Structure 1
């Protein structure tokens, strides 16, 4: 929970609000409703998706994790434009890292747009390190920076 929103598991009923945020945040490579439904269908087996809900009940952010074996991947994190810089993204990332730890992951990976310095800064604050680059990864030709954070007892305690 943050002062701005409460976190809970995402449901199919959240998809209209999530898709609106998805399309405004990622206009060139937004996930489709079918893709998101597929991710939700794998909860809780290999997926963990959450939403951030404001006091009035409005979904203002969402995030997802894929986890299998000793590895987890941050699939997505997005916050409504008018709610950014309020700690919601950080709260959701912390929740995903906690879930990865709970599931026994030893490392968490993600890709972040090379043209999104605020997101890169947030991930670095959480201990993610750059491990590579995927050229023209996104549909609009933007590169993706690959990042990784190892999970160990010390980091989990510090988080």
Structure 2
């Protein structure tokens, strides 16, 4: 019987893996939605990426243990808000557990009900197209129904566990 090939066991520790991943600079997003009762949900994520131009698809991932997993797994729409350089406090607020993440947050209703954060440099309003379980996360693929951007705005960047702003070379 032939067994499918498998990856070799890792030669590194989990902290080493995290540190290596931290060498990839990313933008910072807050993914927002509403639960079935209309309550606001949001979290900071830097696992955002483009997938396809036609159809317009993007992806992000969420830990299977996240408290908001049931909302995103069963919901039909969410918004991915790319934060601006002056929104570091929002990134930290939406990453903090056991607080009202929405306290003092300015937003408007998106076309499908997902909250759109004021001041974001770009927003992707998505239909929750598909989900894939891999390892300890679920990868969400969203079909973008509406997007917008602020021309000339500076995004917030995360690298090596720290926040940065865009610097031209």
Q: TM-score, normalised by structure 2?
A: 0.28
Higher relative contact order (CA 8 A, sep 6+): 2
CA radius of gyration, larger in:
2
Greater fraction of residues in strand? 2
More helix per residue = 1
TM-score by length of 1: 0.29
